[in-house]
Amino acid sequence: MPKINNSLVLDAISIAINKISPASSIYIDKVEQGLNNGDFIIRLINTEYLQRGNGDLYRVNPAFDVIYFPESGNKDCMSMGDKLSQELSLIELITGDLLRATNKGYEIVDEVLHFKVSYPYNTISYHNNIGMDKLKVNQGG
């Protein structure tokens, strides 16, 4: 099973937004030039790593800000906020894994929509410190 990471989550968000608004440009983190009304920026706000148990199992909780620049004011922002809430509730990664959104909501600041959403997932690291060729087996007699 492929390892889930924030880059895969970001790609899935971008694909979901493209379904809602295929004519819009979607930028990741920054805009070089040419931002137009109707375009999106997706930013990773922060990521929390919460250790679960004693080992290397973590609950990863990345939070994203999907910024939408409306074509026609606050009403357009509210409509897009509702669409994003619906479409981003459950995203499919390119690996086929599904992630359910948590802590989602939006606000409008200076006539720009900020839709904030988190997608928690679990990850584990495996360490192969002992090679099988170096492992001693004691057989009782």
Higher per-residue confidence, 107 vs 129: 107
- Residue 58 CB contacts under 8 Å (≥ 6 apart), including other chains: 49, 50, 51, 52, 122, 123, 124
Residue 136, pLDDT score: 62
- Residue 11 CB contacts under 8 Å (≥ 6 apart), including other chains: 93, 94
Higher per-residue confidence, 139 vs 39: 39
Residue 95, pLDDT score: 93
Higher per-residue confidence, 141 vs 68: 68
Percent of the chain with pLDDT over 70: 86
Residue 2, pLDDT score: 63
**DSSP-derived 3-state class of residue 84:** helix
Assess whether pLDDT exceeds 60 at residue 52. Answer: yes
Q: Are 80 and 69 in contact (CB under 8 A)?
A: no
Helix (H) or strand (E) segment spanning residue 24? none
Which tokens sit at 101?
């959104």
Q: pLDDT tens digit string along 55-102?
A: 788 899 999 999 999 999 899 999 999 999 999 999 999 999 999 999
Query: What DSSP assignment string belongs to 95-140?
Result: TS-EEE-EEEEEEEETTEEEEEEE--EEEE-----S-GGG---PPP
The average pLDDT across 115-140 equals: 74
Q: Among 85, 82, 121, which residue's Cα sits nearest to residue 13?
A: 85
Residue 127, pLDDT score: 59
Assess whether pLDDT exceeds 70 at residue 121. Answer: yes
Higher per-residue confidence, 125 vs 88: 88
